[in-house]
Amino acid sequence: MTRALVGPAAALARIAVAAAIALVAPTAASRAEDDVVRDEAPGQPADEQDGNRLDLGINFEHNLFGQSGGFAIRARRVAGREVEPGMAGTADAQLTARMRAVGEARLARVDRACTLDAGQRRKLELAIESDVKRCVREIDDSRQAYAGMEVNLRDREGQVQWNRFQQDVQRCRRRLATLFDETSLFAEALTTVLDERQLSALASEVAARRSFRWRALVARAMVRLDEALALSQEQYAEVERLLLGKEPPLRINGTTRPRADQAEQLLVFMVLAEVDQQALKAAVGDERWKKVVVFANQGRQMRSWIQGQDLLESPPQ
């Protein structure tokens, strides 16, 4: 049976334990401190520690493929060495795969509309591949221009460079959205590979899809107008008819992109400003027409921005 220490013996035991703790504690603390992954290396400037420095190379793909766009991420640092987040550094092979998937879906739609033979399919596949490779090169050139480039958002020069970076990212986004548009090799190949019957069938399919999509956009915008104007059934039908009669050249073959509900609604309001205003005024009455003009002006004022959202086909050169 162990006897409890009392008196001087107990005091000596307590002193021994305290000494042992004093010897061990600094070593443990140092080891724990070494295990911590720090966000900044020792001796980094204050502007790096507070997150005002950005690596544009890392940010490029986040901004190019991000749903919201225009945001910034900071690189984590371990002992002064950057550790790129998961999305950064996406390989060209992955970008190429995304584009090819869009091209294959486009080709499948063409095939359903006009039934391609093996030779036609092969020629169109080669055109798609050429468009993809050209687009990858263009985007990679832009991406490489920012590789390893850091900016300080506290500096005017850094802010200017960040704005220039955003413009380049937006240009690459537009390039992706218009990958197989009317200026692509694929679109050019369609006019030479397909016969007249096939071209007619494809044109009918495109027109039907464009009309269906415009009806859907108008229907969504009409909900907003009806809430603001309390339209009667007859007034609703007449405003809808006027909008449907001004169908714009919607882009229906763009690449996958984030939802653009706001831009699409403003597009409808832009078209609202272009319909016969006398007919519109007669349809809803003077008081309601004054409210309609407010919506129409929103679309008119945002025309340049709307046209930059790749919702419409490019006008012929």
* Least confident window among 66-80, 168-182, 197-211: 66-80
- What is the mean pLDDT of the segment spanning 186-206? 95
Torsion from C-alpha of 183, 188, 194, 196, nearest 10 degrees: 70
Indicate whether 133 belongs to any domain: no
Indicate whether 56 belongs to any domain: no
Query: What's the whole-model pTM score?
Result: 0.65
Residue 254 has a pLDDT of: 57
- What is the mean pLDDT of the segment spanning 2-24? 41
- Please name the helix (run of DSSP H) or strand (run of DSSP E) that holds residue 78, with its range, or none: strand 76-78
> How would residue 244 be classed by pLDDT, with cut points 50, 70 and 90?
very high
Indicate whether 167 belongs to any domain: no
Indicate whether 240 belongs to any domain: yes
Q: With left for phi above 0 and alpha for psi between -120 and 50, is residue 21 left, alpha or beta?
A: alpha
Indicate whether 66 belongs to any domain: no
What is the distance between the alpha carbons of residues 21 and 13, in angstroms, rounded to a whole number?
Answer: 13
Q: Does 202 have pLDDT greater than 80?
A: yes
- pLDDT tens for each residue of 248-279: 999 887 554 545 788 899 999 999 999 999 99
Indicate whether 268 belongs to any domain: yes
DSSP reduced 3-state for 193: helix
Q: Does 84 have pLDDT greater than 80?
A: no
Number of domains in the chain: 1
Indicate whether 184 belongs to any domain: no
Structural domain containing residue 279: 208-252+260-307
> How would residue 284 be classed by pLDDT, with cut points 50, 70 and 90?
very high
- What is the mean pLDDT of the segment spanning 148-161? 88
**In the numeric block, which tokens belong to residue 38?**
């720090």
Residue 302 has a pLDDT of: 92
Indicate whether 176 belongs to any domain: no
Helical pair 185-193 and 196-229, crossing angle rounded to 10 deg: 130
- What is the mean pLDDT of the segment spanning 225-254? 92
Q: Does 41 have pLDDT greater than 70?
A: no
